Amino acid sequence: MSNCDQCIVRQFSSLKALRKEELIKMANCKTSYTIKKGDPIFEEGDTVNGVYCVKEGVCKMTKLSDNGKDQIVKLAKPGELLGQRSLISEEAVNLSAIALEDMEVCFIPKSEIMGFFNENNQFSMNVMKNICDDLKIADDHMVNMAQKNVKQRLAETLLYLEENFGINEDNTLRLQLSREELAGIIGTATESCIRLLSEFKKLKLIELTGKKITLLDKIALKKIA
């Protein structure tokens, strides 16, 4: 069992508020998991009796819509806690979490989290702020879905991916998504997404090398979004 005290990602999450003795307690009751690319951490409707702390890798949080398509609601990266909302609401999770890369996650049981909640005010405040941030982002996202067209949303998403997940040495977006997944973020048909990528390519806004995407003209992309 590894030491939470040493874990780097803790600094980026609500858990940074925990005191030394709390960290030791947590290290004793947590469970570490390795999740392979494509595998779920949990799925919509599951009862998750705790939260997962993302230590390494990125996952998509998706919701199956009535028409059978998976909408990607959010991408989660190291430092984020998954399942906070359903833990507080005392409900099954309403989103699935699927690994986009090989991942390392730690499961912290509900009883432990609730203990911190009651005894460490800073920690509960951090969790609350996190959820508030998510709410604001969700509202903004909703407005974009309602008011922007697919081309604008694609441009915005490409910029978001570079901004939040960075680029490789060859300038391609670090986070590799399939066209279907990209379509699932912007909320459109896979073919429409592919078509617009081709259009952006023709306009020299981006470069496509197989699955890899490079942003060539961010100014122009920002104008579109």
Partner DNA sequence: CTTAAAGTATGACAAATATCATATTTTATT
Partner DNA sequence: AATAAAATATGATATTTGTCATACTTTAAG
Residue 184 CB, shortest distance to DNA, in Å, is 11
Q: Are strands 50-56 and 103-109 parallel, antiparallel or unpaired?
A: antiparallel
* Contact partner at residue 157 from a copy of itself, DNA, none, CB < 5 to 8 Å by partner kind: none
The option from DNA, a copy of itself, none interacting with 222 (CB < 5 to 8 A, set by class) reads: none
187 contacts a copy of itself (rule: CB under 8 A): yes
Contact 184, 154 (CB under 8 A): no
Which of 88, 194, 220, 225 is in the footprint of DNA by CB under 7 A? 194
**Residue-wise DSSP of 90-154:** TS--SSEEEESS-EEEEEEEHHHHHHHHHH-HHHHHHHHHHHHHHHHHHHHHHHHHHHS-HHHHH
- Which of 23, 29, 131, 208 binds a copy of itself (CB under 8 A)? It is 131
x-or-dash pattern for DNA, window 70-109, by CB under 7 A? Answer: ----------------------------------------
Interface residues with DNA (CB under 7 A) are 67, 149-151, 178-180, 187-192, 194-195, 197-198, 208, 210-211
